[in-house]
Amino acid sequence: MKHKVIVTGGCGYIGSHTVVELIENNYEVVILDDLSNSSIETIGRIEKITGVKPIFINIDLKEEAKVNAVFKEHKDALAVINFAAYKAVGESVNKPIMYYKNNLYALLNTLSAQLENGINGFIFSSSATVYGTPNKLPITEKNETQRPFSPYGNTKKIAEEILDDFTKATENFTAISLRYFNPIGAHESGLIGELPSGIPNNLMPYITQTAVGIREKLMVYGNDYPTKDGTPIRDYIHVVDLAKAHVLAVERILNKKQEENFEIFNLGTGKGFSVLDVINSFEEVTNSKLNYEITERRPGDVPELYAATDLAKEKLGWSANKTLNEMISSSWEWEQKLRAKLQ
């Protein structure tokens, strides 16, 4: 019999890639999504890639009674992976209540519906933003967390604190928080990828949209940071590598391999690349010139972030193996297919 996993936000960028990996590893998947920042078309695309259509339920996780009813219907699920959240850093600064409500009500309603229905495993989609400005590199899971710059980031930090309390108070309930560094790239099929609504906040979609002609030029936010070329350094990680880590986290929970009821793992490659490194690699991979300009720093940007990856390797048996060039070429392929389809 297939093990059932509920994936909230399963139509989104990282969610959809994870659903593909789960199906390919023989899990039955139930997607809960309100489609507020994703498209129903993703379901058909997942089916095209895997040959299996996941169960889809359109639901706003802020609606507690509805969440309870859905979890009751799927109480044979063994674990939940929680991707459902708003994620635009800048928007969260302007609309903090909307972010706290959406991200935290969804989490709380999910956890209480799990409790009610005896679904005891939980995987949380967290972020390296909880480390704030790190005083030590590479960042290990033992690095202290700081209050993130943005309300978005703070919802991740608060969520981890809730999970810490909840797992301590709830016998048999186990959770894993996965702290992503900078996810980019797309599935090799070119059928799923990142679909930012409006003007992208993040570097990679901004680059590909500029190259395809939707944006006039990329603004590089500052070249006066204390790094090798003055631009900030990040640990970019292929979304498919990231998705695979979620399957291993589910297995760790189902096989009762956890050493503590609440575990935290960094998901990164351990390698840092500057903004100019990414631009140069993009130009090399696509054999084209990117229109860009150096401008002011963006408030809240940290000079340098990259992960220590040992813990995920040792405990989850996971490490990233896709290169920056593979990340860039898959992002580029996705962008081109997307635009060809939209025209």
Residues that bind ligand UFG (CB under 6 A): 87, 89, 127-129, 153, 182, 201-203, 206, 218-221, 232, 234, 275, 298, 301, 305
Which among 297, 92, 334 is positioned nearest to 193, based on CA atoms? 334
Residues 6+ apart with CB under 8 A from 184: 194, 202, 203, 204, 236, 237, 238, 239, 327, 328, 331
Residues 6+ apart with CB under 8 A from 147: 132, 154, 157
Which candidate in 13, 152, 180, 225 is catalytic?
Answer: 152
Give CA–CA dist 121/242, Å, rounded.
19
Q: What is the DSSP string of 3-54?
A: PEEEEETTTSHHHHHHHHHHHHTT-EEEEEE--TTS-THHHHHHHHHHS-PP
Nearer to ligand UFG, 153 or 190 (CB): 153
CB of 213 to ligand UFG, least distance (A): 16
Nearer to ligand UFG, 123 or 130 (CB): 130
CB of 325 to ligand UFG, least distance (A): 18
Give CA–CA dist 183/241, Å, rounded.
9
Task: Name the burial class of residue 146, with classes exposed (0-12), middle (13-18) and buried (19+) by CB atoms within 10 angstroms of its CB.
Answer: middle
CB of 150 to ligand UFG, least distance (A): 7
Instruction: Tokens 């994620």: give the residue.
Output: 87
Nearer to ligand UFG, 166 or 181 (CB): 181
Nearer to ligand UFG, 305 or 320 (CB): 305
- Which helix (DSSP H) or strand (DSSP E) does residue 123 occupy? strand 121-127
CB of 47 to ligand UFG, least distance (A): 28
- Is residue 100 among the annotated active site residues? no
CB of 116 to ligand UFG, least distance (A): 31
Give CA–CA dist 40/38, Å, rounded.
7
Nearer to ligand UFG, 113 or 218 (CB): 218
Collapsing DSSP to helix, strand or coil, 332 comes out as helix
Give CA–CA dist 282/238, Å, rounded.
15
CB of 168 to ligand UFG, least distance (A): 26
Nearer to ligand UFG, 41 or 301 (CB): 301
Collapsing DSSP to helix, strand or coil, 111 comes out as helix
Active site residues: 152
